[in-house]
Amino acid sequence: MAYTTIDDPSAYFQTALYTGNGGTQSITNNGNSDLQPDWIWIKSRNEAEHHNLVDSVRGNTKVVYSSLTGVEDTTSIQVTSFASDGFALGSGTNTNKNTITYAAWQWKAGTSFSNDASSTSVGSIDSAGSVSTAAGFSIISYTGTGANATIAHGLGVAPSMIITKSRGTTNNWGIYNKNLGNTNAVFLNLTNASDAASTYWNNTSPTSSVFSVGSAAGTNPSATMIAYCFAEKKGYSKFGSYTGNGNANGTFVYTGFKPAFFLLKNSSSAGSWVLVDAKRPGFNVINDSLNTNNANVENTATVCDFTSNGVKLRTNADHMNGSYTFIFMAFAENPFVTSTGVPAMAR
């Protein structure tokens, strides 16, 4: 069997860096493959603005913010359209303010999905969205009930990570990570350590067809919801945990690919989420990072190196490499070895 089924990760994930112009502009991806994104996550780098997240399921005018608990906003001047190899912007100051620099992380799903739970007997709540079984990614819309329920995710294998947000109520983001287990959740907008409660995931791990939710406001309020579901794909994505060593010669985190994107969180103690990518600054050591839980400008403290097969932490900071447990989410720039046996090269 080949090491990976995804030789070109840029077909499913890309990072774009750009400078705002205060008017309109098109952002074009420059990976090996064209990528029409279904999920776009934009953050200003040199000005304090909140993270903007849009997707093709809710529509480009519907925005939620990873750093806030608020309800979904409607705007026609941020992301104005999804393009065949990128996206278009209006004059919104969150995403296209003149002279401000931005990072945009983009994922492709691409295949329409819907499930009528009463007809299929899969799940207890209807769901719909966009899915890529090849990349292990789905965007799922559902309406919460406030009571224990199951929701079809369309991936065909059990998700390793799920990110949920209420669209119509003011609530925290809820996150399931396979290494935290089905009794715990962490929150994309908070610095809190993981919280244990059966109300998040009903103490039930996802299956190949559904994920479970309890009555928690972050996962299943009586409101419309959006969920981003991820299953691991060897050589392309990894969702797991590591133990920090409290040393500037930090822990090595094996991913099985040269990373393009790495998001980490101290799950056993308070600390900000830290997001780094292969384009900021574009070489090792990586010292440009952003926090999903606040609007702050880009940090410049040393974080890590990206290697041909993982991440080498280069800090003793408690919120990145203290003597604690951390969870992470990673996507590839190149697989460690392609399906034809070509190895990745270190940066």
pLDDT digit string (tens) for 31-51? 999 999 999 999 999 999 999
Radius of gyration of the chain (CA): 19
Amino acid at 64: V
- Per-residue DSSP letter, 192: P
Segment 311-338 shows an average pLDDT of: 96
Segment 168-184 shows an average pLDDT of: 97
The rounded distance, in Å, linking the Cα atoms of 210 and 302 is 39
Q: State the average pLDDT for the chain.
A: 96
Phi-psi sector, 232: left (phi>0), alpha (psi -120 to 50), beta: beta
Segment 192-217 shows an average pLDDT of: 98
pLDDT digit string (tens) for 101-129? 999 999 999 999 999 999 999 999 999 99
- Among the residues of 143-235, which ranges form H helices? 198-201
Q: Residue 347: what pLDDT?
A: 61
Of all residues in the chain, the percent with pLDDT exceeding 90 is 96
Q: Residue 339: what pLDDT?
A: 72
Q: Residue 217: what pLDDT?
A: 96
Segment 255-277 shows an average pLDDT of: 98
Q: Residue 341: what pLDDT?
A: 66
162 phi and psi, to 5 degrees? -135, 130
pTM of the model: 0.97
The rounded distance, in Å, linking the Cα atoms of 215 and 234 is 33
Q: Residue 300: what pLDDT?
A: 97
Q: Which residue in 184, 133, 166 sits closest to 12, CA to CA?
A: 133
The rounded distance, in Å, linking the Cα atoms of 102 and 239 is 25
pLDDT digit string (tens) for 53-93? 999 999 999 999 999 999 999 999 999 999 999 999 999 99
3-state helix, strand, coil in the chain (%, to 5): 5, 40, 55
CATH number 2.60.320 given to 9-107: yes
CB 239 within 8 A of CB 230: yes
83 phi and psi, to 5 degrees? -110, 170
Q: How many CB atoms lie within 10 A of CB 263?
A: 21
The rounded distance, in Å, linking the Cα atoms of 320 and 264 is 7
CB 246 within 8 A of CB 322: yes
Segment 306-317 shows an average pLDDT of: 98
The domain spans of the chain are: 9-107, 113-230, 237-335
Segment 298-312 shows an average pLDDT of: 98
